Structure 1
Amino acid sequence: MFEVLAFVYENYYADEGCPEPAHLQRKLSAVGFESDEIEDALAWLQGLNSAARSARPRVPETLEAAANVAAEPWLRQPLATSVRIYPSYEQNHLGTQCLGFIRFLEWAGVLPAHLREVVLDRAMAAPGAPVALDDLKVIILMVFWSFGLEPDALVLDELCDDANERVAH
């Protein structure tokens, strides 16, 4: 599934968006992807589109303001001072590498809380446990793309870089 998602990102990130699912399915099939991989990727993308539409980037600044904001059923917007606690099922599904990478991006200030929650939602929808770090990087790229955001060059380099090819000095 992640090969399909990477292909979609590489070929459509510069455009306004993906083609309609039926057209995209035909194109992916013509490229040579297996039908079950395509179906899994299209279902995942549909979930991403739904999450991107329902997640609002506006974060309340106080607890009183948070009480007055009607939150989506699956996502309550965190305060800027909130701390994310990962339940054991998320820890098991994501693994320490992915959780550490998410924390790194948060600490660097490039993954705000509302995007983090969408990344976590989509990572939890990914098959396999623990999720591979390279797969999480594809998820993060897809989430940025779905919100119409482009990470800065250093973050993009970190997301697209193959750590196995790095040479230590």
Structure 2
Amino acid sequence: MSSLNTTESRPAGPAVGSPAPDFCLRDQFGQDVRLSSYAGQKSVALVFFPWAFSNVCTGEMAGIRDRLADFMTFGSEVLAISCDPTFSLRVFSDADGLNFPLLSDFWPHGAVASAYGVFDDERGVATRSSFIVDKAGIVRWSVHNQMPDERDLDEHVAQLHHLD
């Protein structure tokens, strides 16, 4: 599995130790979700993924679903973000029993992914990247995987719970 830590080669997005860009996106049910609404309450794992229904993304989201109790606790939350439209994310959610927020960064297309430095202009998708944001809204960890490489969910959970 190849991954890149933000401190090595991702200068465009928020650096570890800096404030996470706030956003408001719609989830697969059409409800607005604002990152800053978790401030002071929960740490958040932001999981950017390129394509609903692709093999790797489906496997990753199923992995999060299967470990949802690890990701979503009294002190933590997971938000998965894709540039797919809300309606596609709803079908993806229903088809695979994904009962956690899938957020649509469809319009303006990739604006949140761009703010985090993870929008692939050539493909029009978010790259396979993750950020852990603490209760104060500060980025505490990030990782960027190559498109075909699955994330290490164990490391995500460890980083998220390190903040509790």
Q: Is the TM value for this pair above 0.5? A: no
Bigger strand fraction: 2
Query: Whose radius of gyration is greater, 1 or 2?
Result: 1
* Superposition TM-score, scaled by structure 2 size: 0.31
* Superposition TM-score, scaled by structure 1 size: 0.30
Structure with greater contact order relative to length (CA < 8 Å, sep ≥ 6) = 2
Bigger helix fraction: 1
